[in-house]
Chains A and B, each alone.
Chain A
Amino acid sequence: MAVAFDDVKVGDEIPSFSIQLDQMMLWMYSGASGDFNPIHNDKEFGEKVGLGGTIAHGLSSMGRMQKTVVDWIEDPGKLKKLKVRFAAPARPGDTVTFKGKVIDKKEEDGKKLVVLEVGAETQDGVQVLTKGEAVVQL
């Protein structure tokens, strides 16, 4: 059952999503998105430019944040807005956890909207996505 507006309370946390990244996932995102910047694909290049290896695409983290919210609402068309700050890169080997919490419920122009605070961090507490906000229409 999809989540219903009346059942949602401010302070509710949505189910989190955790995933351990590997280099293959970065290659897959490169192919799927068309972003072949070597900082995501070539370990030696990443080392040479001072990143200590490859880093995941910021937009792939945003994508997994989107997935986490969509898993909660079921219908992806109900996601109206997502905003994030790319605070720190995630890297192959990192386990990244994506979270969301309801911070507001409102009705605008007859639309029932739920606002979530969202973010992602690594197993070491490195904040990957911050100042995140999602708006869904239920």
Chain B
Amino acid sequence: MIDHKFIGKEYPVTEYEIGREKMKEYASAINDSSPYYFDREVGKKSEYGDNIAPPNFAAVYSLLGCANLFFDPELALNFAMLVHGEQEFEWLRPVKPGDVITTTGKIVDIAEKGNNDVISYEAESKNQDGDVVTVARATFVIRGGN
């Protein structure tokens, strides 16, 4: 069982700069060939004025801070038994090459379900203008309890 006093715990802000080739590499890895990522002309003519990252690239920039949770010495999670249960991304605006994304992550819930412990984690990502781009909500399950 994980002490419920950690509900609300925040982790240090992470920073990630969106790279054009990196976001294209991610798109290729999920077999997404949308011209919105790859074709400069399509990007320029779009309402975004440039290419945008595939939405699920949030898996990279918004979940960076998860390592801080997984290896938090206070929580001492049994990483070998940890599995990703659920994931939700809410996208408020697209991210583009050169955007510098800062993300704040926190524990929003700790619960016991059967033999398992479940941690709910939420991360909010903002761009360099201070606009929220993505909210990520994840649950991680410690099989057999921590």
Contact = CB atoms under 8 A, between A and B. Distances in A.
A32 B56 CA distance: 12
Contacts, number: 108
A67 B83 contact: no
Interface residues of B, number: 35
A63 B32 CA distance: 8
Interface string A55-78: 000111011101100110011110
B84 interface: yes
B76 interface: no
B139 to A, nearest CB: 9
Interface string B67-86: 00000000000001001111
A74 B137 CA distance: 25
Given A59-B56, A70-B34, A79-B55, A86 B29 contact: no
A49 to B, nearest CB: 8
B59 A82 contact: no
B89 A29 contact: no
B29 A28 contact: yes
A17 B89 CA distance: 21
Range of interface residues on chain A? 20 to 34
A131 interface: yes
B86 A84 contact: yes
Instruction: Please classify the interface of chain A as helix (H, G, I), strand (E, B), loop, or mixed, using the class held by over half of its residues.
Output: helix
Contacts of B36: 74-77
Contacts of B89: 81-83
Contacts of A74: 34, 36
Nearest to B63: A59
Closest 3 CB pairs of A and B: A63-B30, A67-B32, A32-B29
12 contacts: A29-B29, A31-B25, A32-B22, A32-B28, A62-B87, A63-B30, A63-B32, A63-B54, A67-B31, A74-B36, A83-B86, A84-B88
